[in-house]
Structures are given as structure tokens and as C-alpha cells.
A and B are shown apart, each in its own frame.
Chain A
């Protein structure tokens, strides 16, 4: 009895200490994450100041201004570019993750995926400019092969924006997919084929449903940053490939309409939040199912044990 009590009080003490362990992290997040978020929320409901900044007066003007058809166009464009880029990322990441999970050289391949992160993203975008531009690497090769006479316009359009976005965010899709596929039991594919499925059918009917959590994570991890991208459309996009991220930058630095910039930021935050909640809910559902299962298994095991011992007696 007393031992139990002692253990319990020490547990309680540990729990109290846990708060202090987490304190630095908590302070950090409050100061650098929550506070800016509150400021943005606040600003989006205020009146714009004449030369930037805000006037402390409640107003919904910023949200009204968002319904400008020009902004609507940008919003729609942002959505479709993000959807297309995310879709390509996922489509490329599934076979890549599969190949990595089945490879003997996993560490090496993981390493290769991570290497690009060692270089600043801006530098990598500039590298793409020198690859795609009219006098760039790609065009020069085609020219020297005699396939074309004049450089093709490969850059400063929607296509180049999507291409570079895919390049930038593909690893964020590959990594979670790789980890889930790596845990996938490949004998299930053998089983599916044994039972009459074709190679592709086995992957569609058995593997994809079982790597759902990885797919969700990959979608959220790529869609959210792509939706908020602004350097890529700024550097490799044309005049008409601006995305929401560019509007926010413009509203802050050029037009100096901080409430409007905040309102657009709110949209980005909302999209991310919805995505993350979606991810969390489905993973929680999965976990709840598993927990439920283990409990049930335990009781069943008890019943089974009971039966067998009963049978013996």
C-alpha cells in the first residue's frame, strides 16, 4: 500500500517536473509563433494606416477587399497550381518511396534525397533559371543536337512554376511515403497476386489503402508549403503566375495594406489548419481503432486461456 502511494507521489512529482522541462519550448512557441499569429489575426480586423501599419479601429474592410476579382483570379490560380504540383509530387513520390523501401541501399538513397537541403533554396531556384532560360543549359543542349534553332521559352510561365515547385517539395512527399511503405508488409502484395490480382491491381487494392496515413502526410506536407509559396513564382514565374504568397509580400512591402496582407495570411493559415486537423483526425481514428483492437484482443486472449485451462481440468 505504502509502496504504491510512494510510487504515485513520485510519479506526480515527475509530472510536475515535466512542465518545467517543457517550459523553454512553451515560451519559445508563445513568443515566436503564437504572438505573431495573434498579431496577424488582430491586424486583419483593423483599418489600414496611410503609410503602412494599422489604425486601431475595428473594420472588415480587408476581408471585403479580398473579393476583388483580381485577387479571386490569383486565389483560383494558387489553388490549381498547388493541386497540380501536389498531385505530381505524390505520383512521383509513391514509386520512389516504393523503390527506396525495397532497395538494399536505403541509407544511401535517403542521403541522396536529403543532400539538396544542404543548399539554400534560393540558390537552387537560380540554378533552375540557368537550366531553363532561353540561353540555358537545356536549350543549349537541344541546339547543339540540332533539334531546335532558337531557344524555347521554358521559363517565366505556369509550367516552370509548377516544375520548380515539384522539384522543391518532392522530398517532403517522398520521405513520409517512404517511411510508411517501408513498414508495409510486402508479402501482402504476393498474397494479392496469389489470389488473382495483377501486379498493378495488387498495389492499387492492397498497398494504397494500407499506406493511407503516409499519403495524407505527404499531401499535407507538400500542399501547404506550395500553397504559400512566393519565391518560386517570383523568380521563375511570368507576369501572370503570381500566387497568394506574392500578394501578401506586395501588400506588406509595396501597397502597404497590412490588414489585407494579414487577411490573406489568414487564408493560408486556415488552409494549413484544416489540412493538419484532417491529418490528425484520420491518424487518431486509426490509432483509436488499434487501441480498441488491442483491448479486445486482450479480453479474447483471456477467454481463450480460460477455455484451454478449463478444457484441461
Chain B
């Protein structure tokens, strides 16, 4: 497209919004950088769409501020804000063609006819719909509709593009392709994208930063890496990806290189285990211990290297699930009976070792570095 548009910094400060007794947003504050691809991630009813609608101007908060580049936008109706929205259901005008849909905002502004034509064709080309320009929306496939919605939202040259679960109505494969397209588009236009989704894999794969929300509150804001590797709360740990999570108590803590090596007592696992963390924890503090299934090794022979900081358990495979690139094993530990999830990647044939089957007796082990202590326990 040649030129890049200008993004704005979007700040929501202490935004609260209730519907009767239901608190959709409870003192939410986020600062979204200029040109950032920012995701609001959470289960349905967590308030992410409400926050988006407040930023767009379709809803107003009971209290709090919404600023675009430091300027208060709350007094302005949606048509006066520098934001445009891509709706979950696309919201294409069924009585207008692709061309007319995309031209709609320009015609409202009484832009010169030739200028409209030039710009519409430019944006149609940007979203690769050149051959469908004269079709009505109901003649388009889901992915094409979605692209029309994006072109229509971008033609006004907004500073913020708000995307309300734009891919949720599409099938998985198409979703992946469009997600990549969306990411490329963001790089091309350079404006701020605020992306609402309940799908953690979507959010992880395209966002610069993510705000994880639940029950109207922001639980954690961070890069996809931070959110996955260092979840701030129990909810975040469980919601992002799959994990094994158990309550634990710190029993010892000592310095180990530039980190701290701790032993924690985990009742669900039946004994104390090792875990490292960047900061020391006081002894006796109750926390949650989490270890991602893909970081656990599963073997029939006991792990050979019994070096310090490896936690090893013995159990029986209760449920092997083959899913192509990886296998999932649900291993029931001896004595305690706790089930540990283990994902084993299939690298290549030689690497896989002896096949592990149902009711096999196995060892599961992980390094202290791969465990993580979740500091906040949800009420």
C-alpha cells in the first residue's frame, strides 16, 4: 500500500462498567502502545468485548477514562472517533456490493467520486478481492466476507483497528491462514490493532502483547512468551495452553547461581520437589506449582542422569492420545493417584524410542528449571 498510516496510543484508565448486578468491567486499566498488535484474551463473559465496545464508542463506562494519544474520547460518538471496528459477524451491509460496502464510509463523507473509486480499488486490492468487487456479501465465503469487513474498516484510515473475534466464525484451517494475513496487514498499515479473542493460540501467535482477562478484571499483561512461561495467576496458567497445576508450600529456599533453588511440598504429588525461580520465596508460603506437559519427559527406563534438580515420578499410562505431531499421555502416579499430563513430540522415527502404550509402567521427569511457581491463587 506504500504509505503507512499513523497509529495512536490507546489508554483505558480504571474503567468500570456494570449491567445491573453484573460487573462486566471492574477497574480495568491498560495502555496500548502506538502501532501495537494488542490482544484482549479471556473466556466469554470476561469483559473483553465490553472493553472493545467502550473504546469504539458503542458503550460508555460507568467510570474511568479512555484516551487516544492522551486525548479523552469518551464524549465522542463512534462516528467521531479515529477507530474502526471489524465485527464478529462481519456486519457487511447485505444490500450493497463489495464495492459499495467498502465505499460506504467515503460516500458518507462526500468524498469526490473519482477519489472514492481509486481508494476502493486500492483497498480491494490490498485484501485480494479484485475479482469479487461487484458481488453481494451473501455470495462470498466466510473468509472473503471477513476481508471485506477489514477493507471497509481500514478505508477511513483509522488510527486504531478494533477486531472483535473476527475469525471465530471460520473453520480452523482458514483461521490460521487469515491470522497470518492479518499479521502481515498489521505490519503493512502500521496502525494500532486491538484484537479480542477467546482463543489463546490465536492471541499467542500474532500479538505483541496480550491482556488476559477474567470476571471483568485484567489478570496479566505481557508478551505471549511471558504469559505462557510465567503466568501471573492460577487462571492464566490454566487458560493459556494446557498445564499441570498443584497447590504447594515452600519448604526450603537457597541461592543457586543467579536464581533460587527451592524445595516445595506438593501434596498431590506425595512429596517435595525441586523448582527454581528468579526471586526467593519465604518458607511456608502457599503457592501453586505448574509444569507444562511438553516439558515433562516420559520414559520406560528410569532417566539415566540422576543429577540434582530433576524430579522423577513413577506411574502407569492410563490414557495415551495420539494426535499426529505429538502424543498425549495421562499418567497416573503410584500411591497418590494424581494424573499428570505429558505431551511427547514426535521428532523423527529413530528418536522416538520404544513405543509407550496403554497400561505401560513409565517414569515421568522434569527439571527444576521447567517448573514454575504461580504467585497469585485465585479466590
Residues of A with Cβ closer than 8 Å to B?
185, 187-188, 190-198, 201, 205-206, 209-210, 212, 289-290, 293, 296-297, 300-301, 304, 308
Contact = CB atoms under 8 A, between A and B. Distances in A.
Nearest to B143: A304
B136 A210 contact: no
A196 B56 CA distance: 12
A185 B87 CA distance: 12
A210 B93 CA distance: 8
Contacts of B65: none
Contacts of B91: 185, 187-188, 190-191
A308 B156 contact: no
B79 interface: yes
28 contacts: A187-B87, A187-B88, A190-B58, A190-B78, A190-B87, A191-B92, A192-B104, A193-B77, A194-B56, A194-B58, A194-B84, A194-B85, A194-B153, A195-B104, A195-B105, A195-B108, A195-B153, A196-B79, A196-B105, A196-B108, A201-B108, A206-B93, A210-B94, A210-B95, A212-B95, A290-B138, A293-B136, A301-B141
B93 A197 contact: no
Contacts of A206: 93
A297 B77 CA distance: 37
Contacts of A297: 138-139, 141
Contacts, number: 72
B307 interface: no
Interface in B41-89: 56-58, 77-79, 83-85, 87-89
Contact of B85 (A191, A197, A289, A304): A191
A191 B89 CA distance: 10
A196 B89 contact: no
A293 B95 CA distance: 13
Contacts of A212: 95
B109 interface: yes
A145 to B, nearest CB: 40
Nearest to A206: B93
A135 to B, nearest CB: 49
Given A301-B141, A308-B173, A193 B89 contact: no
B152 interface: yes
B141 A300 contact: yes
Contacts of A201: 108
Taking residues whose C-beta sits less than 8 angstroms from the other chain, chain B's interface range is 20 to 34
Contact of A197 (B58, B79, B138): B79
Contact of A193 (B78, B88, B141): B78
B94 to A, nearest CB: 6
Contact of B139 (A192, A198, A296): A296
Query: Can you list the 6 inter-chain pairs with the closest CB atoms, starting with the nearest?
Result: A191-B91, A195-B105, A209-B95, A196-B108, A187-B91, A293-B138
B77 to A, nearest CB: 7
B155 to A, nearest CB: 9
Contacts of B87: 187, 190-191
A196 B103 CA distance: 12
Contact of B141 (A188, A191, A192, A304): A304
Contacts of A293: 136, 138-139
A189 to B, nearest CB: 9
Interface string B110-125: 0000000000000000
Given A191-B92, A195-B104, 20 more contacts: A185-B91, A190-B58, A191-B93, A192-B104, A193-B58, A193-B78, A194-B56, A194-B57, A194-B84, A194-B153, A195-B84, A195-B156, A196-B105, A197-B79, A205-B104, A289-B136, A293-B138, A297-B138, A300-B141, A301-B141
A185 B185 CA distance: 28
Contacts of A308: 173
A301 B91 CA distance: 21
Contacts of A205: 104
Contacts of A209: 93, 95
B128 to A, nearest CB: 14
Nearest to A308: B173
A30 B91 CA distance: 47
A125 to B, nearest CB: 40
B175 to A, nearest CB: 13
A257 B4 CA distance: 81
B122 to A, nearest CB: 17
B379 to A, nearest CB: 32
Most chain A Cβ neighbours within 10 Å, of B56, B105, B139? B139
Most chain B Cβ neighbours within 10 Å, of A194, A198, A210, A308? A194
Contacts of B141: 297, 300-301, 304
Contacts of A192: 93, 104
B293 to A, nearest CB: 28
Given A190-B87, A308-B173, A196 B109 contact: yes
A185 B139 contact: no
Most chain B Cβ neighbours within 10 Å, of A195, A210, A297? A195
Nearest to B149: A191
A193 B87 CA distance: 13
Interface string B129-166: 00000001011010000000000110010000000000
A209 B84 CA distance: 23
A192 B93 CA distance: 9
Interface in B272-288: none
Nearest to A210: B95
Nearest to A292: B139
Contacts of A210: 93-95
A210 B101 CA distance: 14
A261 to B, nearest CB: 44
A195 B152 contact: yes
Interface string B189-214: 00000000000000000000000000
A290 B57 CA distance: 34
Contacts of B79: 193-198
Contacts of B156: 195-196
Contacts of A196: 79, 105, 108-109, 156
Contacts of B136: 289, 293
Nearest to A300: B141
A206 to B, nearest CB: 6
